[in-house]
Amino acid sequence: MIDVPTLVEQAREGRPRAVARLISLVEGASPQLREVMAALAPLSGKAYVVGLTGSPGVGKSTSTSALVTAYRRLGKRVGVLAVDPSSPFSGGALLGDRVRMQEHATDPEVFIRSMATRGHLGGLAWSAPQAIRVLDAAGCDVILVETVGVGQSEVEIAAQADTTVVLLAPGMGDGIQAAKAGILEIGDVYVVNKADRDGADATARELNHMLGLGEARQAGDWRPPIVKTVAAKQEGIDEVVEALEKHLAWMAGNGELAARRVRRAAQEVEAIAVTALRQRFGDVHGDKHLDALARRVADGELDPYAAADQLIAAVTG
């Protein structure tokens, strides 16, 4: 058994090994997480959580690293959480280009952790907020959450952040692709990276058009800015930080920040509850109840709704 109080105290002091171990407990869905989260709950809620999302190839990793540099210049303690939700099978994060982060690896004020969310869908809904809580309790002022991989899970990651940055790059595919990925509805700040390449202005214009930024908005509405960067050269990154600070101030001023954090907590609580109930489904009658019901459904004897009713009755009765 792990000595949770000591580990939490060490993490609170900002000791990297303790932080890493706590995030490993999250990653491994340790039974001790309950004790860890109870200890961390009163210590968290101070960090500003920024999600970074975008298709492979837009320079997410480079941009994250450039933002770490910018925030370190401002004297902030920074956490980086790289989440790989793309493979439910591999059981390990494929962090091929994490090497970009290595310039920050020796900085004691930077915590970098990758996390694979192996297994079932929805796992991110509880694992990401828990890992964020660890970094938060460790005194990070800013936590950058970056996805590795593609697909719908990016939207799930965005749901975990105070502010979502959507990254694009010139020539990365047409608008339909962006629309398909659903990323146009989730950005608070848009970044066109690799802006020294051909087509950057066209991408920014198309994005501006697709976002309907030319249209009239209500006073007080947030108008997502589009920032052009060359992350590999640190160009435009201070402007991204400025946009983030503006968004944070806007959210803090109108209650949106608190509302987003409540929404995030609601998702986390619901995900934990659903996971617990799923485990009960399996536990009922020695692991065989769901299986027996499924057999009858597969045979056409029972319809799936009636089977679900029986399952719920067995769990809640």
Considering only residues 221 to 260 of the shown chain, the ones binding a second copy according to CB under 8 A are: 258
Q: Does 171 bind a second copy (CB under 8 A)?
A: no
Q: Is residue 116 within 8 Å of residue 92, measured between CB atoms?
A: yes
Tokens 């719908």 locate to: 152
Contact string (CB under 8 A) for a second copy, positions 292-311, x = contact: -xxx-xxxxxxxxxxxx--x
Helices assigned H by DSSP within the chain: 4-12, 16-27, 33-40, 60-73, 123-137, 153-158, 175-181, 200-210, 237-254, 256-283, 289-298, 304-316
Residues that bind a second copy (rule: CB under 8 A) add up to a total of 75
Written as six digits, the tokens of 138 are 């460790």
Rounded Cα gap, residues 67 and 237, in angstroms:
6
Tokens 């930080």 locate to: 241
Write the CB contacts of 261 (distance below 8 Å, at least 6 apart in sequence).
45, 162
Nearest residue (CB) to a second copy, 96 versus 286? 96
| Segment interacting with a second copy (CB under 8 A) among 18-26, 58-66, 182-190, 211-219 | 182-190
| Segment interacting with a second copy (CB under 8 A) among 6-14, 20-28, 66-74, 273-281 | 273-281
Q: Does 99 bind a second copy (CB under 8 A)?
A: no
For a second copy, the binding residue among 9, 245, 266, 288 (CB under 8 A) is 266
Q: Does 2 bind a second copy (CB under 8 A)?
A: no
Least spacing, CB of residue 228 vs a second copy, in Å: 25
3-class state of residue 266 by DSSP: helix
Q: Does 316 bind a second copy (CB under 8 A)?
A: yes
Q: How many CB atoms lie within 10 A of CB 220?
A: 8
Q: Is residue 131 within 8 Å of residue 144, measured between CB atoms?
A: no
Least spacing, CB of residue 136 vs a second copy, in Å: 10
Residues 189-228, interacting with a second copy (CB under 8 A): none
For a second copy, the binding residue among 79, 85, 139, 225 (CB under 8 A) is 85
For a second copy, the binding residue among 74, 105, 179, 202 (CB under 8 A) is 179
Q: Does 41 bind a second copy (CB under 8 A)?
A: yes
Q: Does 286 bind a second copy (CB under 8 A)?
A: no
Q: Does 83 bind a second copy (CB under 8 A)?
A: no
Q: Does 274 bind a second copy (CB under 8 A)?
A: yes
**Residue 272 burial (10 A CB sphere; 0-12, 13-18, 19+):** middle
